[in-house]
Structures are given as structure tokens and as C-alpha cells.
């Protein structure tokens, strides 16, 4: 624990020494990363706003997660923000990144609160992070007014206050109040009792489904190969770079390589997709005719 604390302090101290970016520099770095995949620009962008990520991570320590893990999740959220940020929208990167950092930390906290996933919808997230606080305040207010709220009335007030359905409040109450149990526990007290895991239905893919899915996948792959062969070299290159490469190339970078405008590359891409769609539809009709 002491080592973790020292590591957290070291990361925080380094983050505090990072440069502060003005709007113009921030925009230039964002363009360099989006258009040219300039890793040095990405590093400067991430490093400059890591202090903000660490500050947001510290607000979630009360949920019991290690601070080092929270910082790592905040950093992942910051990197996702940098990868998805569009500088053309006229929004500061710091404003955009806050949402991704918070979402990444919240997902981590909820994943590790219990072995069973606590929730994933916006309603469930709102309840997870606000329910206890709102419940405590409502109970204090009721006590001040001399009211005695039963559980159903309290749940209704919580639902109204947070703006979520009553059933979500009742479900989250049960999840937060419960604890994890092992599926290897026996169902009865005697030694020959079955474990709970033995009562679970096997939902894995059966042999017939495996063969069928494999056949369908191969059929789709063959159709796509045939459709790609119907394109000319330039169209195949654009489709491959835009859809079959990870990460996908931007229209700007392809335009520079091909000596074309961004709009012209987009038109060629659309035309290629139209050709492929017609080819796939023709192949599908042939199959349907064969089995008719």
C-alpha cells in the first residue's frame, strides 16, 4: 500500500509539471494526431491533461478502488478522447475529454464493485453513483418534518429526484445491498449436495451451430472477395485502407497519397461501395435462385 501511495504521489507530481496548452497549440496538436497520427503530438496532448485526469480519479476513491487503478482508467479515458476528438467542431479538447475520463472511471468502478455487473445504462449509472447520497438527504428531510417514510415511498422519492424509473431504483437497491456468492457452494448441507454451478444450463454454442456459423462466415468472406475483385485497383486500395485497416486511414491522408482532394476520395469510396453492394446483391439472388 505504501508503494502504491508513493507511486500515486510521483505520478501526480509529474502531471503537475506538465505544460499548459493554449487553445491554438491544443488545436495544432489535435490536427497533427488526427490527420498524420503524429505520436509526439498525442503524447504532448495526453501529458498536458493528465493532471485533470488524476484530479477526476481522486473523486472516486471513496468507492474503495485503488487510486493507481483509478488513474490508469482515467488515462485510458483520456486516450480514447484524444483518438475520437474532432478538432473541426470548435470545442476545446479539455471540455471533450472530461466526458470520456468520467465514463471510463465510472465503468471501472461499477465493474469492480461486484463480480456481477451492477449496471450499464445511464439510469443505472446515475443510481449507482447518486442513490445513497440522495437517500440519506431524503431521510434527513423526512426526519426533520416528522415524517416516517416506508421503503416504497422512499424509493418513489429517489426515482423522482434522480429522474429514473421506480423499478430501476428497486433493482439497484437489491444489488447494492447484496453480496457475491460462490457458484461452487453446495445447494444443501449434506456432503452429496450438488454445487449451484451444476444447475446452470449450458448455453455454449452446440456443434451444429458451430458448423453452420462457420459455413456462413466463409460464404460471406467469399462473397466479399468476389465483390472486391469487381473494383479497379484505386477503388480496392481506398476500400482496403478505409475499412479493412486498423486504424482506418482518413480521407485527407489518402488524398495526399493519391494526389486527390478529400471530396474526390469520398466520391470514389462511395462509388466503390455502390459497386460492391450491387455485386453482393447479384450473388445473393443467384443463391436464392439455386435453392428455389
Assigned domain for 254 exists? yes
Q: Which three cell numbers stand for residue 228?
A: 472486391
What mean pLDDT comes out for the span 70-93?
Answer: 90
pTM greater than 0.75 (yes/no): no
More confident residue, 118 or 260: 260
Assigned domain for 30 exists? yes
pLDDT above 50: residue 260: yes
- Judgement on whether residues 43 and 128 belong to the same structural domain of the protein: no
Assigned domain for 202 exists? no
Assigned domain for 193 exists? no
pLDDT at 281: 80
pLDDT above 60: residue 289: no
pLDDT at 81: 92
Assigned domain for 234 exists? yes
Could you please report the per-residue DSSP string of 19-50?
PPPPHHHHHHHHHHHHHH--HHHHHHHHHHTH
More confident residue, 221 or 268: 268
Flag the least confident range among 54-63, 162-171, 205-214. Answer: 205-214
The total number of structural domains in the chain stands at 3
- Judgement on whether residues 96 and 130 belong to the same structural domain of the protein: no
Cell 474526390 -> residue: 264
- Judgement on whether residues 18 and 102 belong to the same structural domain of the protein: yes
Could you report the per-residue pLDDT of 127-185, keeping only the tens digit for each? 766 777 788 888 888 888 888 888 888 888 888 888 888 877 777 776 665 544 444 55
pLDDT at 1: 40
Domain residue limits at 29 = 6-113
The CATH number for 12's domain is 1.20.120.1810
When the pLDDT of each residue in the chain is averaged and rounded to a whole number, the result is 77
Assigned domain for 184 exists? no
pLDDT above 70: residue 205: no
Burial (0-12, 13-18, 19+ Cβ within 10 Å), 58: middle
pLDDT at 216: 64
Q: Which stretches within the chain are classed as H helix?
A: 2-16, 23-36, 39-48, 50-58, 67-84, 93-113, 122-144, 151-162, 166-177, 207-229, 233-243, 251-258, 262-291
pLDDT at 63: 72
- Judgement on whether residues 53 and 96 belong to the same structural domain of the protein: yes
Amino acid at each position: 500500500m505504501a508503494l502504491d501511495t508513493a507511486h500515486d504521489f510521483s505520478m501526480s507530481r509529474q502531471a503537475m509539471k506538465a505544460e499548459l496548452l493554449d487553445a491554438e497549440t491544443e488545436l495544432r496538436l489535435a490536427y497533427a494526431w488526427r490527420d498524420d497520427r503524429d505520436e509526439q503530438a498525442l503524447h504532448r496532448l495526453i501529458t498536458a491533461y493528465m493532471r485533470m485526469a488524476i484530479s477526476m480519479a481522486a473523486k472516486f476513491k471513496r468507492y474503495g478502488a485503488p487510486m493507481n487503478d483509478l488513474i490508469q482508467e482515467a488515462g485510458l479515458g483520456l486516450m480514447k478522447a484524444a483518438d475520437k476528438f474532432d478538432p473541426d467542431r470548435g470545442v476545446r479538447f479539455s471540455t471533450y475529454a472530461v466526458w470520456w475520463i468520467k465514463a471510463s472511471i465510472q465503468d471501472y468502478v461499477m465493474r469492480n464493485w461486484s463480480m456481477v455487473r451492477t449496471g450499464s445504462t445511464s439510469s443505472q449509472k446515475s443510481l449507482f453513483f447518486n442513490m445513497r447520497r440522495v437517500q440519506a438527504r431524503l431521510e434527513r428531510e423526512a426526519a426533520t418534518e416528522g415524517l416516517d417514510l416506508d421503503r416504497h415511498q422512499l424509493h418513489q422519492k429517489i426515482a423522482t429526484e434522480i429522474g429514473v424509473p421506480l423499478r430501476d431504483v428497486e433493482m439497484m437497491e437489491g444489488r447494492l445491498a447484496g453480496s457475491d456468492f460462490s457458484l461452487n457452494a453446495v445447494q444443501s448441507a449434506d456432503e452429496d449436495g450438488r454445487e449451484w454451478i451444476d444447475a446452470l444450463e449450458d448455453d455454449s454454442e452446440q456443434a451444429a451451430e458451430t458448423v453452420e456459423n462457420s459455413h456462413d462466415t466463409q460464404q460471406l468472406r467469399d462473397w466479399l472477395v468476389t465483390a472486391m475483385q469487381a473494383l479497379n485497383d484505386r477503388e480496392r486500395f481506398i476500400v482496403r485502407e478505409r475499412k479493412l485497416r486498423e486504424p482506418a486511414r482518413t480521407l485527407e491522408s489518402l488524398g495526399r497519397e493519391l494526389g486527390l482532394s478529400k471530396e474526390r476520395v469520398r466520391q470514389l469510396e462511395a462509388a466503390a461501395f455502390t459497386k460492391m453492394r450491387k455485386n453482393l446483391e447479384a450473388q445473393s439472388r443467384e443463391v436464392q435462385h439455386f435453392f428455389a
